Amino acid sequence: EKGGYDHFMLKEIYEQPRAIKDTYRGRLLADEGIVRMAGIDQNMERFLNANRIIIVACGTSWHAGLVAEYIFEDLARIPVEVEYASEFRYRNPVITENDVLIAISQSGETADTLAAIKMAKEKGAFVFGVCNVVGSSIARETHAGAYTHAGPEIGVASTKAFTTQITVLTLIALKLAKEKGSLSEAEFHGYLTELEGIPAKVEKALESNALIETIATEYKDSTNCLYLGRGYNFPVALEGALKLKEISYIHAEGYPAAEMKHGPIALIDEEMPVVVIATRKGHYEKVVSNIQEIKSRSGRIIAVVTEGDESVKELADHVVEVPETSEPLTPLLTTIPLQLLSYHIALMRGCNVDQPRNLAKSVTVE
Ligand code: F6R
């Protein structure tokens, strides 16, 4: 059942090229220049007339929501707010009939997310679900939705659910961008082609597995770890930190790279591993100067870079390459090495990778 892999988590990490393809199959028609999604087409007016989109989710799904915020605002020019479902439902939020709420949930059973949906519906908002589990409570409770089609995710640590959620949300953003005319035809087509090529690039990113395993041996006894990223890769830093803490029990924090100087830099010494996402597109020079700041304080740097990068190599202790892609799609690639790093570190620490202590795959109580 683990398909020859030692753990479900590793199997699910390796399934991502296939899972992403399944997510866009029948929806992404690059040759015809179309994104086909019935749940969006049938409700196009609601999306186009929306004052804003509110995204609610928990955990890893919330991180996918943060990536989506960058994509929706950048490509479709629609204002987005991303909320923890647990905070949103209890803080008497302002919701109107002109709001669209997107709920993201792998299991479709998360209690707080479900409660946020019910509240938004009562206030007249249009509610759209992005779920993996077909027929789940959230899928049934929403007005419309799009499944991720990632296949069952058994490992408690979410992996393929995250990348397929981002894929669905990217398709939605592209569809709305096309309808609104916020992207030129050429840009729109460029993104479709690039997204179609992502599974092959994920495959390429997975080739770093052996290198990452070697890196893991050096950091498996760390007690803390910092993850930094900017722009589209800030949420990826949060997700990398969550992956490490939940399965290896190493304390980890994700930060926007520029926030480092507002506090976390005080933590940096020769004992502190810092994972930095420094892809060539997206504030590259600024991230490189953050790396310099870490180096001058003797921090240990593990950098995720674009293939062929030279400058970071000179500064970092380790570099892991991912293929080049357009900036909004980089999270689909930069996430991969961070998943593998947490997997190998957890395994070396003797942790139960698929079933970390105190955690449940679906959180049906608040
Ligand atoms: C992290 C993880 C959790 C879930 C969260 C939301 O790896 O699995 O943080 O992402 O409990 O679950 P869903 O997406 O099922 O609503």
* Best of 63, 67, 363, 364 for a ligand 1 pocket test (most atoms within 8 Å of beta carbon): 363
Contact 39, 146 (CB under 8 A): yes
Distance 342 CA to ligand 1 centre (A): 16
Determine the residue of 12, 55, 58 to mutate for testing ligand 1's pocket, defined as the one with the most ligand atoms within 8 A of the Cβ atom: 58
User: What pTM, to 2 d.p., does this model score?
Assistant: 0.98
ipTM: 0.99
- pLDDT score for 15: 98
Give per-residue pLDDT as tens, 188-241: 999 999 999 999 999 999 999 999 999 999 999 999 999 999 999 999 999 999
Cα end-to-end span (Å), the chain: 31
Angstrom distance (rounded) from CA 55 to CA 362: 19
Q: For 43-81, what is each residue's pLDDT tens digit?
A: 999 999 999 999 999 999 999 999 999 999 999 999 999
Distance 172 CA to ligand 1 centre (A): 21
Distances (CA, A) of 33 to 21, 30, 188, 192: 17, 5, 8, 7
Question: Of 278, 242, 260, which Cα lies nearest the Cα of 63?
Answer: 242
pLDDT tens digits for range 241-282: 999 999 999 999 999 999 999 999 999 999 999 999 999 987
Ligand 1 atom having least distance to the Cα of 159: 7
- CA 175, 181, 64, 303 dihedral sign is positive
Average pLDDT over residues 313-324: 97
Question: Catalytic residue numbers?
Answer: 361
* CA of 116 relative to ligand 1 center, distance in Å: 16
